[in-house]
Amino acid sequence: MRTLKLIFIISLLLVTVGFISWSDSSASENNGVDQISVSKDAKPNVSNVNFENLGVMVASWYGPGFHGKLTANGETYNQMALTAAHKEMPFGTFLRITNQKNGKSVIVRINDRGPYIEGRDLDLSMGSALALGMVKKGVIKVKVEEITLDDYYSPFVTLN
């Protein structure tokens, strides 16, 4: 079921980006609003979804004390969003995180830096921790996979 949700979300993104093209119309003709045109012959871009195994990492979670403050990439931290902090991964990187004890998985986006406690590799948002069933435990080992698409670049998810 989780795989179907992932495929649906990625397919929706690909279809939206693949079908829509912005026309270069003058502002006087359309009141300064860009026009969107969809070609009747448009075909969706087909791209393979890849899961690169990054191994097992130690994950903790953070939330209440940081909610509403700015993250390292400049967006406002929402403790219930599905996001994570890592010391070096590029902002916008998508990861599938799996709790090795219960098999629950969540897809997160890197938007912050950390954790700053020795021995920890990822700091997950509270929403991510809830999805993994790890809030009470606090720190767990997780399987980490980077999600990539073949030959696909989306400026919509890169927040550098």
Please name every residue paired with 36 in a beta bridge, in sequence order, or none if there are none.
22
Q: Of 159, 147, 146, 157, which is closest to residue 17 (Cα–Cα)? A: 157
Q: What is the pLDDT of residue 46?
A: 63
Q: What angle do CA 105, 125, 156 make, to 5 degrees?
A: 85
**8 A C-beta contact, residue 19 and residue 42:** yes
Q: What is the pLDDT of residue 93?
A: 96
Q: What is the pLDDT of residue 33?
A: 54
**8 A C-beta contact, residue 73 and residue 118:** no
Q: What is the pLDDT of residue 158?
A: 45
The CATH 2.40.40.10 domain(s) of the chain lie at 49-149
Q: What is the pLDDT of residue 96?
A: 98
What is the residue type of 142?
V
Question: Which single residue is written with the structure tokens 């030959």?
Answer: 151
Please name every residue paired with 97 in a beta bridge, in sequence order, or none if there are none.
106, 144
> Would the pTM of this model clear 0.85, i.e. be above it?
no
Q: What is the pLDDT of residue 49?
A: 87
> Which two structure tokens, joined as six digits, stand for 135?
């809030």
Q: What is the pLDDT of residue 149?
A: 83
Q: What is the pLDDT of residue 150?
A: 77
> Which two structure tokens, joined as six digits, stand for 5?
């949700």
CATH code that applies to domain 49-149: 2.40.40.10
pLDDT mean for each 10 residues of the chain (160 residues): 59 47 41 58 71 97 92 95 97 97 97 96 97 96 93 52
Q: What is the pLDDT of residue 100?
A: 96
Q: What is the pLDDT of residue 41?
A: 66
